[in-house]
Amino acid sequence: MRILGIDPGVATIGFGIIDADRQKNTLIRYGVISTPAGLPLSHRLRQIYADMQELIETFRPDEVAVEELFFTNNVTTGISVAHGRGVILLAAEQLGIPIFEYTPMQVKQAVAGYGKAEKKQVMLMTQRLLNMTQIPRPDDAADALAIAICHARAATSLLNRERIFDPKRYDTR
């Protein structure tokens, strides 16, 4: 199964693509989508949407895993990230790719074995689990890979394979 992990944002969106099976996760590609500062939000959102469509069409993931928003202090930044996250979800939905969402604590638990793990621990475990020679950079891309690994661990479980989201069940046309 090919998984596209996404760390949402507006200025920088991390992505990580892995192939997952029960025994092994294989790194395919990772990086970031960036939008230029100074552009109106609507232009940045349009660019994120177009780049997400291109990423999905190029790599043909079976499923998309996106981090749920978590913000405590800076609500303004959280709202802006929520706009970007909405566009990301829309792009995947319109292309018919099942979407799964995970909290930061779920991602840390799945990758590092502890829901309150430090960022460095998660990055080191991501490196190890994907047999990478270096810690993935930038941080947004590393986070996206961790999200993909989290979903791989959940999705390749026999218990979870039976509850896979079927987008046809929700088609209201």
User: What are the Cα distances from residue 36, in Å, to 11, 48, 159?
Assistant: 7, 11, 43
Spatial separation of the C-alpha atoms in residues 129 and 27, rounded to whole Å? 10
Contacts of 165 (CB under 8 A, 6+ apart): 98, 99, 100
Active-site residue among 7, 51, 63, 143?
A: 7
Handedness of CA 110, 112, 114, 116 (dihedral sign): negative
Q: Which of 51, 63, 67, 143 is catalytic?
A: 67
- Is 67 noted as a catalytic residue in this protein? yes
Q: Which of 19, 140, 162, 171 is catalytic?
A: 140
54 is catalytic: no
140 in active site: yes
* Nearest alpha carbon to residue 104 among 154, 67, 53: 67
Catalytic residues: 7, 67, 140
